[in-house]
Amino acid sequence: MRERALLALSLALNAIAIAYLAGVYSSYTQLKKHFMELASEYERAQAEIRALREQLNMTSAQLEHYRRLVEHLTRAQPRGEQAQELAGRAEVQLVAVKAKPGFLTYSLEGVVLKAIVELKPGQGRVLVSTTPLIGIDLQASLRTAVEVAEQVTGASLSSTDVVVTIVGEEEMEIVDGPSAGAALTLAIIAAIRGEEMPPGIYITGTIEPGGSIGAVGGVLEKASAAAEAGARVFVVPAGQSRIEVPVPVERKLAPGFTLVVYEYKVISLEEYLRQQGYDIKVVEAS
């Protein structure tokens, strides 16, 4: 009788233990599922923060460029020199970043475009067309590029139209038109002098009224696109040959619970590209 009672008690205790463990396992499973959902949301939030950081850097660079341009325009005096009509043509590869819609914001992707610069007898106009439809703001940068090209060459384009055609592989929205200023300036100078742009050299940077090259955003994306296109040299504004890249770091919060966070590390852009398998030299210019 006593043995039966002990057996019954043992069975009861085992049943209670099994029920308890089942409840604990169920709670653990639900907790882990909730944790994974939170981790996924956290990773998405980090991705959005990285995109916003890039957008902020790009916007800050553009605002500084336009501020300098406005200051220059308020001091500029009308030109009175006699000009002759010029004719010429040059091509240059542009690197830019296009917008890719995402959750709440957009991400950036590097892209290579071709710019065809033509000088034609005219009235000093700056004309831009794109093939196919490409959303890109070049007017302000082009006018500065024309002015700097005149300063460098000593030529006047007041009786010459500067016609720029941007050619891409697809319709897209470019978010950093001013960063093409330096490349377009070099192309205009080449067209005036009847020269060709050297192949394999890509450049990003705004062109400032005094001829200096200004900072831009999206340098990593542009460098990657240039390297993919076969660039041998990539020229960046002064101080932008080192970049911040997000590095994934695992943090164990508890047994079975690991969270991946991203910490930013400053490295050489040239070294980063080499790690990606590209043999390209990065040079700063001001």
- The yes-or-no verdict on residue 249 having pLDDT over 70 is yes
Tokens 């790690």 map to which residue?
275
Q: What is the pLDDT of residue 231?
A: 95
Sign of the alpha-carbon torsion through 66, 71, 72, 77: positive
Give CA–CA dist 113/168, Å, rounded. 5
* pLDDT, tens digit, 9 for 90 and up, residues 92-138: 999 998 877 765 566 788 999 999 999 999 999 999 999 888 888 78
Lowest mean pLDDT among 8-12, 64-68, 281-285: 64-68
Which one, of 227, 222, 137, 130, lies nearest residue 174 by Cα? 137
Domain architecture of the chain: domains with CATH: 88-235 (3.30.230.10)
* pLDDT, tens digit, 9 for 90 and up, residues 18-50: 767 666 667 667 766 766 666 667 677 666 666
* pLDDT, tens digit, 9 for 90 and up, residues 44-75: 766 666 666 666 666 666 656 656 655 655 55
User: Residue 121 contacts by C-beta under 8 Å, 6 or more apart in sequence?
Assistant: 85, 86, 87, 159, 160, 161
Mean pLDDT of the chain: 82
Q: What percent of the chain has pLDDT over 90?
A: 44
Q: What is the pLDDT of residue 265?
A: 86
Q: What is the pLDDT of residue 176?
A: 75
Give CA–CA dist 8/30, Å, rounded. 33
Bridge partners, 165 (sequence order):
116, 129
Residue type, 10: S
Q: What is the pLDDT of residue 236?
A: 95
Tell me the whole-structure pTM to 2 decimals.
0.72
- The yes-or-no verdict on residue 271 having pLDDT over 80 is yes
Q: What is the pLDDT of residue 112?
A: 95
Give CA–CA dist 11/278, Å, rounded. 68
Q: What is the DSSP string of 203-265?
A: E--EE-TTSPEEP-S-HHHHHHHHHHTT-SEEEEETT-SEEEEEEEEEEEEETTEEEEEEEEE
Q: What is the pLDDT of residue 146?
A: 94
Sign of the alpha-carbon torsion through 181, 182, 185, 186: negative
Instruction: Tell me the mean pLDDT in the region 261-273.
Output: 88
Q: What is the pLDDT of residue 55?
A: 64
Q: What is the pLDDT of residue 247?
A: 80
Query: Any long-range contacts for 254-259 (C-beta under 8 Å, 24+ apart)?
Result: 256/32, 257/32, 257/35, 259/39, 259/42
**Cis bond upstream, residue 255 (ω within 30):** no
